Structure formats: structure tokens, C-alpha cells
Amino acid sequence: MENEKLELVSQYWWLFGRSGGETRIKIINLLMERPYNANQLSNKLEMSYRNIKHHLKILKDLGVVAQNSDQKYGKIFVINSKFNKDIFNEVIKKRKSET
């Protein structure tokens, strides 16, 4: 169990501690409130649609977010049920203390 936690901490640190991490943190925080599509996130974060899609792809590929369907447009993104919010918050707290 401890090895699994260390692996998740390492993965989350890579995901949220690197370049683009701040954007991914903002996306995750919004998705923890409710589901959004890429256009809604783009408007809410006042960022380009293309940039949001890039970060959503990274988050989806790593299993952090899931989408409601494989349709081409209007996909709704949600937090994956396997996403560990406690470790996410731990990594974010550590990230903030280092800046």
C-alpha cells in the first residue's frame, strides 16, 4: 500500500509540479466542483480552447479525468473515480510550500 502511495505522489508531482502544472491544478479544482466541457473550461479560466484541450488530454491519458463519451464535440469531463484527492491535496500543499 505504501508503494502505491509513493507511486501516486511521484506521478502527481510530475503532473502538477512541472510546467503547465498550475493550469492542470485549476482544471482539476473546477472539475471537482462539477463536470465541464473544454469550451466551458476555456471560458472559465480565460485560456485558449487549444491550451485547455492539451491539458485535458494529458489528464485523461494519465487517468485523472474521464469523459462522458467518445463523441467529437461537447465531451463532458469529470474527475476519474480512481483519482486520489488526498494525495492531490498533499502534492499541492507541498508545491505551494516550495514556491
Domain of residue 38, residue span: 2-97
pLDDT tens track for 47-82: 999 999 999 999 998 889 999 877 777 889 999 998
CATH of residue 29: 1.10.10.10
Asked if residues 27 and 45 have their Cβ atoms less than 8 Å apart, the reply is yes
Q: How far apart are CA 84 and CA 8, in angstroms?
A: 8
Which one has a higher pLDDT value, 4 or 55? 55
The confidence score (pLDDT) of residue 33 equals 96
Q: Which three cell numbers stand for residue 1?
A: 500500500
Which one has a higher pLDDT value, 16 or 47? 47
Tally of structural domains, the chain: 1
Q: pLDDT band for position 84 (50/70/90)? A: confident
Asked if residues 35 and 76 have their Cβ atoms less than 8 Å apart, the reply is yes
Asked if residues 15 and 87 have their Cβ atoms less than 8 Å apart, the reply is no
